[in-house]
């Protein structure tokens, strides 16, 4: 399955359609991943745009040691962390982390079709940011534990532990919300 590396190579060789393909194929997933950091869809969209601008203008070298998508999400993660650092220096009051439900539902309807996934996605909003991130990368984006560890800059063992704890927390939230499923 093509994950964007050939599109990026074409873009670097001067074919702007390669960049258009990258944005089209990875925009929605990247926005939802970045939302796990900022819990604000419009801001996550801006951060995704900043990520694409970064690769479009700076044209960093893609070594191929990981999948293109892993590399792109790692860049997005760094953009989000940089943003949060800047915001923490500017703000003296706590950040209101709730997302406008209309924004979240419009993106959910476009990206998540099945009712069970929507319930899980909503329940993830009650989890710690790190739990949301590891669950999102592993289950919704389909990254392996190794790739998730690379993106999150953690060891594979740390990701496995985080994943276990995140699933347990998610299960508690879902049960509290009245959603019961033995597959969790």
In a shared domain, residues 105 and 120: no
Q: Determine the pLDDT at residue 104.
A: 54
Half-sphere exposure of 130 (CA within 13 A, CB side): 12
Q: Determine the pLDDT at residue 148.
A: 92
Domain span holding position 46 = 1-111
Whether 184 maps to a domain, the answer reads no
**Domain end position, chosen among 90, 111, 132:** 111
Whether 10 maps to a domain, the answer reads yes
In a shared domain, residues 87 and 23: yes
DSSP 8-class letter at 44:
H
Q: Determine the pLDDT at residue 4.
A: 81
pTM over 0.75, yes/no:
no
**Domain end position, chosen among 111, 146, 166:** 111
CB under 8 Å, gap of 24 or more: what pairs does 130-133 form?
130/162, 130/166, 131/162, 131/165, 131/166, 131/169, 131/170, 132/36, 132/166, 133/33, 133/36, 133/37
For 46-85, the pLDDT digits (tens) are 999 999 999 989 888 888 888 898 899 999 999 998 998 8
In a shared domain, residues 101 and 131: no
In a shared domain, residues 2 and 89: yes
Which pLDDT band, with edges at 50, 70 and 90, does 165 fall under?
very high
Q: What is the mean pLDDT of residues 134-154?
A: 90
pLDDT exceeds cutoff 50 at 29: yes
Token output for 68: 């293109």
In a shared domain, residues 87 and 167: no
In a shared domain, residues 14 and 75: yes
Q: Determine the pLDDT at residue 112.
A: 42
In a shared domain, residues 16 and 46: yes
* 174 vs 92: CA distance, rounded Å: 33
For 86-113, the pLDDT digits (tens) are 887 776 544 455 555 555 555 544 444 4
For 35-51, the pLDDT digits (tens) are 988 888 999 999 999 99
Whether 72 maps to a domain, the answer reads yes
Kindly report the CATH number assigned to the domain that includes residue 70. Answer: 1.10.1740.10
The DSSP annotation for 58-104 comes to T-----SSS-HHHHHHHHHHHHHHHHHHHHHHH-SSPP--PPPHHHH
**Domain end position, chosen among 93, 111, 129:** 111
In a shared domain, residues 11 and 79: yes
Whether 182 maps to a domain, the answer reads no
In a shared domain, residues 103 and 30: yes
In a shared domain, residues 107 and 125: no
Kindly report the CATH number assigned to the domain that includes residue 131. Answer: 1.10.10.10
Q: Determine the pLDDT at residue 1.
A: 38
In a shared domain, residues 75 and 4: yes
pLDDT exceeds cutoff 50 at 19: yes
Whether 58 maps to a domain, the answer reads yes
Q: Determine the pLDDT at residue 115.
A: 59
Q: Determine the pLDDT at residue 179.
A: 63
pLDDT exceeds cutoff 80 at 117: no
Q: What is the mean pLDDT of the chain?
A: 82
């Amino acid at each position: 399955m093509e994950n964007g590396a050939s599109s990026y190579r074409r873009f670097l060789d001067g074919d702007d359609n390669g960049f258009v393909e990258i944005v089209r194929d990875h925009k929605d997933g990247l926005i939802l991943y970045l939302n796990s950091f900022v819990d604000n869809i419009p801001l996550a969209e801006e951060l995704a745009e900043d990520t694409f601008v970064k690769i479009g203008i700076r044209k960093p070298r893609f070594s191929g040691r990981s999948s293109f998508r892993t590399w792109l999400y790692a860049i997005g993660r760094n953009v989000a962390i940089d943003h949060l650092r800047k915001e923490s220096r500017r703000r003296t009051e706590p950040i209101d982390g709730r997302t406008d439900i209309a924004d979240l539902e419009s993106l959910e309807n476009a990206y998540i079709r099945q009712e069970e996934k929507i319930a899980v996605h909503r329940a993830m909003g009650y989890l710690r940011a790190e739990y949301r991130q590891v669950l999102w990368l592993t289950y919704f984006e389909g990254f392996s534990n190794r790739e998730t560890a690379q993106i999150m800059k953690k060891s594979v063992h740390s990701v496995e532990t985080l994943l276990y704890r995140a699933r347990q927390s998610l299960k508690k939230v879902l049960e509290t919300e009245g959603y019961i499923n033995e597959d969790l």
